[in-house]
Amino acid sequence: MMLHIDGSEHRWFGDERYYELTVVLDDATSEIYYAQLVEAESTRTVVTALREVAETRGLFCSLYSDRAGHFFATPKHGERVDASRSAQVGRALQELGLKMIGAYSPQVRGRSERNFGTWQGRLPQELRLRGIKDLAHANEFLRDEYVSEFNNRSTVHAAQNGSAFVRTRRKDLDWIFSLQHERTVNNDNTLTLENRVFQLDKTRWRNTLAGQMVTVHEHLDGRMSIRYGPHLIAQYAADQLPPQAPKRRGIPRLPTGRAA
């Protein structure tokens, strides 16, 4: 089975605020498996959506999406994706044996626009009638009521009964659905990510990892872990991360033709 993921930016609360609605649906039946409002679509919000589908429903065969950077590596805007390089979402699905398919057809884009046209016509009215004006309550309403009602009205019945999802017995979804970054350890046994400096401790099997490649995992709940091959060498709770150093500002450039 193939799932389709897409997002729609809209003023869902009927005021000046724009939010992104992320939807995962069955490409054949249009059944919605996930729908949540977020500040803006990002790698983290997409990975969160796919992990929930994998955990609550099971594994699927392939995922159809646009060619945004968190799905595919595209050397130049508008060109075909580079199949030899994996972005974060593609890497996660590849680890699960699932296929990523990038959208090139304008017909697919038109289908998404029609689907979101229905959402944009109905969801703001439902939120207004219930007096819902914030993301937390809106997403609770989507989970508890609206998605099932939407499916009852809009889902096309499959030709055969039963589910095509395959329940996963894997215990490593927390690792697979993390954002992963490779870093080379510095001579002082530190590494840097997002302006944070992580000081690595000595291990019982190696005094220093200087010059070695490690993988930093950003977990969806805010934790961070660092692994060297199969070895877990550091782990940080969300409230125990090293502080971020302020970004350096470039030296102001003098106007052309004027001396300092």
Is a pLDDT exceeding 80 seen at residue 22?
A: yes
| Helices and strands (H and E) in the chain: how many | 6, 11
pLDDT in tens, 127-166: 999 999 999 999 999 999 999 999 998 877 665 666 789 9
First to last CA, the chain: 65
Rounded to the nearest 5 percent, the helix, strand and coil shares of the chain are 30, 25, 45
- 250, with CB counted inside 10 A (0-12, 13-18, 19+), is exposed
What one-character DSSP code corresponds to residue 3?
E
Identify which of 19, 13, 44, 6 has the alpha carbon closest to the alpha carbon of residue 180.
Answer: 44
163: helix, strand or coil: coil
Residue 88 to residue 46: CA distance in whole angstroms: 10
Please give the average per-residue pLDDT across 185-198, as a whole number.
95
Is a pLDDT exceeding 50 seen at residue 260?
A: no
Q: Taking the C-alpha atoms of 142, 144, 146 and 152 in order, what is their torsion angle to the nearest 10 degrees?
A: 140
pLDDT, position 109: 62
Is a pLDDT exceeding 60 seen at residue 232?
A: yes
151: helix, strand or coil: helix
Angle, to 10 degrees, between the axis of helix 43-56 and the axis of helix 88-95? 20
More confident residue, 80 or 116: 116
Residue 114 to residue 108: CA distance in whole angstroms: 10
Percent of the chain with pLDDT over 90: 65
Which domains does the chain carry?
Answer: 2-154 (3.30.420.10), 178-240 (no CATH)
CA 75, chain centre distance (Å): 20
Question: What average pLDDT is seen over the chain?
Answer: 87
Please give the average per-residue pLDDT across 227-254, as a whole number.
84
